[in-house]
Amino acid sequence: MEEVMENLRIQGGIEKSSSPWTSAVVLVRKKDGSTFDQELEWWSEVFNRIRAAHLKLNPKKCHLFQKEVKYLRHIVGESGSHTDPEKVSAVKDWPAPTCVKDLQSFLGLCTYYRHFVKDFASIAAPLHKLLGKWQKFEWTVVTQKAFDDFKQALSYWSQWDLLRLNNGLLERQWETPDGLVKYWQLVVPKKLRPNILNDSHNQITSGHLRVKKILSRLRQRFYWMGMHQDVQEWCWACDVCCAKKGPKKCGYAPLQLYQVGAPMERVTVDIAGPLPCTDKGNRYICVVMDYFTKWTEAYAIPDQEAATVAQVLVVQFFCRFGMPQELHSDQGINFKSAVFCESFTFPVDVLMGRPPGEELPTDTSSYAKHLQERLAKVHHQVRKGLRFLGEVMKSRYDAKANEVNFQNGDNVWFYNPQRKKGQPPKLQSPWDGPYTMLDRLSNVTYQIRGGRKSHPMVVHVNHLWQYHGPGQYSWDGSGESCSPADEDVEEDIELKYKRMVMIYRGKKWISKRIKTFKERTASKSRDSVGSGKEDDLISLKIILYIIKC
């Protein structure tokens, strides 16, 4: 064997070395742009030298034309050499040493990769102290921390070969899952991440894309830890996306039952349409239903204006069945207008001496008594049936319901799908906001307000969604959000600013008037100046003094 090795050294196949270890032959392509034909010539030369030395190769151990191979506990590839993932995983899963021998085995494996770990000696110093000759082996909190930091550092710096410095900028290599395409990504510091997220999502040419499309666009050029979470939080906090697309899954609150005990106690009204126009010009249907008896009436109307709906309800329904105690609607604009509310304000108690709907006192006749008892039984059966059906409906409805609780002062989105005239539906946003939560009226109804000068609204919780604005995530360092108190402070500052501007302009105007008055009086004789003008001059000086104070 020694003679064969000496012949190989003389022929130039191997070089002389003082190391007691031998290793396999690895040919790595250089970065000089050599072609595939040149590599074949090199392989031919290698095989000729092996054949001349009368050596044999094991085909199972030969790997030709590989992108990367395992070599001496390293992975050698096109981008260089890096640690073997299997060895790194062994270090990460290594249990805490219980004796000096276990610690020596751990440090021996890690020392082999010390050129991949920055500040190797300082990190491993507490562990090397335990290997002293007269040192007692005691595993303390300090050594455990050094042990964990050492494993984490080795796992992290195993990726060091994927980084490079290009014109003073740190870049990281990234490749597609199939390994065909590789990119050099710019490693972005934390301060510049909001600017990149804003340019890739909020700009006019960005289009407010979804998370997956933004990630595929950013990963071609940039890299930072936690990019997926930052992009997801940025999209959640985008007002334009939230107002247009809304929540991914709109939950709904549990069903609330409303028990009624008599006819005309609670009446609901709603508008259906627009429908195809009839011969009489009607395009809408006004539907009115009594909660207790389920009696339903439908009236054809030409439009859904407040005056039209009020006239139909008063003339065709209330004049026939009487005034209900409550009128339930979807709080549309036509049901909340002043014209609609004034249409149901009648001085009935002044004219009749009793509120509307109150029963007249009757005599104790047999007919009245029998009718009253019969109606009482019928109403009892109706209430019992309504209660049973309501419980069944609630159990089925609440099977997929989830309760959502908002606190006073929270900012929320409000679902308001009213379309604006002159704009296509694709360019309109059904979600409006942010609104401020004022009060919780019931389990499913809340009172909200859009601004300090707007009127409060009572809305259902199914039309609300938690507002995720800026100042709640890691990419925004401000950590501040707007509240009604902040709006008041801003308005006070604005008023003070306007007052200061008015005072400044008043000072300039009065000073100019005094200067003009003095110039005019100086050109005339002292006798021509009347006492009235002197009084005006004194008044102007007094006003100017007050403003300065």
CA atoms of 442 and 404, how far apart (whole Å): 12
Residues comprising the chain, all counted: 549
* pTM of model > 0.85: no
Instruction: Give which of 124, 116, 186, 182 is closest to 155, Cα–Cα.
Output: 116
Q: What is the DSSP string of 392-426?
A: HHHHHHGGG-------TT-EEEEE--PPPTTS-GG
Cα of 100 vs its chain's centroid, Å: 52
Q: Is 33 left (phi over 0), alpha (psi -120 to 50) or beta?
A: left
Contact by Cβ (8 Å): 271, 285: yes
Question: 231-254 pLDDT, tens per residue?
Answer: 888 887 777 777 766 666 655 677
C-alpha torsion angle, residues 217, 223, 227, 228 (rounded to 10)? 50
Q: Is residue 207 left, alpha or beta, with left meaning phi > 0 and alpha meaning psi from -120 to 50?
A: left
Is-contact 297 288, C-beta < 8 A? yes
Number of H-type helices and E-type strands within the chain? 18, 16
- C-alpha distances (whole Å) from 449 to each of 399, 405, 444 are 31, 17, 17
Dist. CA 202–CA 347, nearest whole Å: 58
Structure tokens at 227: 């990019």
**Per-residue tens of pLDDT for the chain, all 549 residues:** 567 667 766 766 666 655 544 555 555 555 555 566 677 777 788 788 878 877 788 888 777 777 777 766 667 766 566 666 666 666 667 777 778 888 888 777 777 666 666 677 777 788 888 777 777 787 888 888 878 877 776 665 555 556 666 666 666 666 665 656 666 777 778 888 888 888 888 777 777 777 788 887 887 778 777 888 888 888 877 777 777 666 666 556 777 777 777 788 888 888 887 888 888 888 898 888 888 888 888 888 888 888 888 888 888 888 888 778 788 887 777 777 766 676 666 655 444 445 565 555 555 566 676 667 777 777 777 777 778 888 888 777 777 777 777 888 888 888 777 767 777 666 677 777 788 888 888 877 888 887 766 778 888 877 787 787 665 444 444 444 444 444 444 444 455 545 555 665 666 666 676 677 667 666 654 544 444 555 555 555 555 555 555
